[in-house]
Amino acid sequence: MKKIATVLTAIDFSDSSDNAFQMALSMAKSFSAQLLVLHVINEPVDLRGFYVPHISFEKLEDEIEEGAKKMMESFCRLNIHDFENYESLIVPGLPYEQIISQGEEKSADLIVLGTHGRSGLDHVLFGSTAEKVVRKSKIPVLTVRLEE
């Protein structure tokens, strides 16, 4: 049987991805696997002040990256307690492309995603990132639905 040595979970800081992250963490612990926690800074960048409350146009990219790093640090501090075998990654790009390419680059054995994210399209079966990753990834994908 193929060993699951690396689990990649992609987070967009939504409740749905928080929930999927918890599943990925449990699996990484059960398999004694490494957990990769990936956030993709959506490009073209979301300018609605999600990462930084005020937008400084001169240093926009730096501020966005800095804001994303802080969110990731605080997410990991809050959610990963005694588990040390993890790495966090922040990359710019299209979320579905980066989730697949980072998974391949880091030789992940499993990708764990929420069925939905920040797009708020709760009525559709899958969000567009989830749907594209499921359709295009060669690595097995587990999608986790948040029960309300």
Residues in contact with ligand AMP by the rule CB under 6 A: 10-12, 14, 16-17, 20, 38-40, 42, 95, 113-114, 116-117, 119, 127-130
Nearer to ligand AMP, 17 or 82 (CB): 17
Nearer to ligand AMP, 63 or 97 (CB): 97
d(CA 129, CA 131): 5
Nearer to ligand AMP, 34 or 102 (CB): 102
Triad 50, 56, 60: Cα angle to 5°: 70
Pairing status of strand 34-42 against strand 86-93: parallel
Give the nearest distance from C-beta 79 to ligand AMP in angstroms: 14
Give the nearest distance from C-beta 62 to ligand AMP in angstroms: 19
| CA dist 25 → 22, 50, 125 (Å) | 5, 25, 24
